[in-house]
Amino acid sequence: AKLGILISGRGSNMQSIVAAAGDAYEVVVVASDRPAAPGLAWALEHGIPTFALAPKDVGKQAYEAALDAALRAAGAEYLALAGYMRLLSDEFVAKWRDRIVNIHPSLLPKYKGLDTHARAIAAGDAVAGCSVHVVTEELDAGAVLAQAEVPILPDDTKDALAARVLAEEHRLYPRVLAKWLNR
């Protein structure tokens, strides 16, 4: 399967997805809503075509139209959101129905949205983790495909917890993609 990856920042999940591709899928394009996203430079260095456009420069509708066109021109059949920090419009999601997945740093349905690790610590939870889910119009609410758990330790900070969860993200996301794209 031909996969496009959407990022907004450093792209460590993108790197783990690219590194694990093998015969399971092919990463054909990395796209970003932030032209300065560090992950874009990494993709370029690794010979992966990239697309970048700032929505504020052209407006959300034109941005998404250009994004959609670039993804299709690159041959993408499925999309993996990997630290993509922008909500896709209902129209965009409808065009890619059941072909977009995301990784979210919480044990969904807990802690949708931002600041998940601080919220899990503040709640006194004993475990945290990450979830790979199908993207629907509603934020972080589509069907969960798989989760990984980590302990929350006494005196944990949100940064320490985030690093522990991120290590699991890097293991979980490529595995789930390989299965889901070849189901």
- Residue numbers annotated as active site: 104
Residue 180 is encoded by which pair of tokens? 């889901």
Choose among 50, 29, 25: nearest CA to 176: 25
12 is in an annotated binding site: yes
Least distance in angstroms from the C-beta of 91 to ligand GRF: 22
Choose among 85, 86, 76, 161: nearest CA to 116: 161
* Cα end-to-end distance, the chain, whole Å: 11
**Of the residues 4, 105, 129, 142, which one makes contact with ligand GRF according to CB under 6 A:** 105
Region from 65-73, 100-108, 121-129, 148-156 binding ligand GRF, contact rule CB under 6 A? 100-108
Least distance in angstroms from the C-beta of 10 to ligand GRF: 4
**Contact call for residue 10 and ligand GRF (CB under 6 A):** yes
Least distance in angstroms from the C-beta of 122 to ligand GRF: 18
**Contact call for residue 83 and ligand GRF (CB under 6 A):** yes
**Contact call for residue 174 and ligand GRF (CB under 6 A):** no
Residue with tokens 């430079």: 41
Region from 10-18, 25-33, 52-60, 140-148 binding ligand GRF, contact rule CB under 6 A? 10-18
CB-based contacts of 147-154 (< 8 A; 24+ apart in sequence):
147/107, 147/108, 147/172, 148/172, 149/107, 151/126, 151/127, 152/120, 152/121, 152/125, 152/126, 152/127, 152/128
Residues at the contact surface with ligand GRF, assessed by CB under 6 A: 7, 9-13, 82-83, 103-105, 130, 166, 169
